Structure 1
Amino acid sequence: MEVHKELRMRCWIDIDGEKFFGPGRAQLLAHIDRQGSISKAAKAMGMSYKKAWSMVDDMNQKGQEPYVILHKGGNKGGGAALTETGKTILTAFNELMENLNEALRDGEEKILRLV
């Protein structure tokens, strides 16, 4: 019987002991950036608008600066966009995850042979 072994890692930022930013929120920001809308981003992720809005509000409140700016409705309708801070945190987090995953891949074979 063949056994499937996998080395996994989780990475997120805590503020005062509570999860603040990680892969899920990074994915949400990426969808908002592409879609220009919190509701479209939520739909793409299979989550409720309420949950997506709550996550955006939490990031905007707890971050040093807001990550997402909302555009009021009108002729063109409303929408959302990442601020420069939002774009910067998204890029930095994705680069960090890339580096961590590369390091993980480098050591994975060696460690899994021992398990």
Structure 2
Amino acid sequence: MNAPPQLKIKVQIHCGDEIAMGPGKADLLEAIRKHGSISAAGRAMNMSYRRAWLLVDTMNRCWQSPLVHAAPGRAQGSGAQLTGMGKRVLAHYRALVQTLEHAAQNADQAALIGLLLPEPRISQKS
């Protein structure tokens, strides 16, 4: 059975040529908050530690202060946590997305969905 057509809004915030925040980075911040480490957050998202670390590095370089504080090692106090700035940026980002999704619930969305096929046609190219 096919899912009904839906509108998906993807918000990306750019800093120069870098994506400072987007849906995947916001999800990574949530996972870091939940799991307390970049590696555990990456595993929870089926992402390599290197990929997770590179995304954190990008976020930390794009904002006025770092979003994630990481203390390497296995000793007490090691791991990662969101900074105050990280919590604020994540909260504002989630609120912005929610506002935009709510604003999109209008006649234009209904009109576009009404014009959309439930599935793409089979390609005529071989």
Mark yes or no: TM-score above 0.5: yes
2:89 aligns to what? Answer: 89
The answer to whether the Cα contact below 8 Å between 2:18 and 2:58 also exists between their aligned partners in 1 is no
Structure with higher helix content:
1
1:39 aligns to what? Answer: 39
1:109 aligns to what? Answer: 110
Identity of aligned residues (%): 37
Question: How far apart in 2 are the matches of 1:68 and 1:50?
Answer: 15
Does the residue aligned with 2:104 lie in a helix, a strand or coil? Answer: helix
Change in 2 beyond 3 A, CA 1:3/1:58: closer
Could you tell me which runs of 5 or more consecutive residues in structure 1 were left unpaired when the two chains were aligned: none
Pairwise CA distance, 1:11? 1.1
Tell me the C-alpha RMSD between the 2 structures.
2.1
Compute the TM-score of the two structures, normalised by the length of structure 1. 0.86
Which deviates further from its counterpart, 94-103 or 105-114?
A: 105-114
The answer to whether the Cα contact below 8 Å between 2:68 and 2:86 also exists between their aligned partners in 1 is yes
Q: Which has the larger radius of gyration?
A: 2
Change in 2 beyond 3 A, CA 1:48/1:74: closer
Which deviates further from its counterpart, 72-81 or 7-16?
A: 72-81
Output aligned runs, 1:14-25, within 5 Å. 14-25=14-25
Question: How far apart in 1 are the matches of 2:65 and 2:77?
Answer: 25
Which deviates further from its counterpart, 3-12 or 35-44?
A: 3-12
Change in 2 beyond 3 A, CA 1:48/1:80: same
Change in 2 beyond 3 A, CA 1:9/1:77: same
* Counterpart AA for 2:85: T
Change in 2 beyond 3 A, CA 1:59/1:3: closer
Size of the alignment, in residue pairs? 114
Moved over 3 A (4+): 2-5
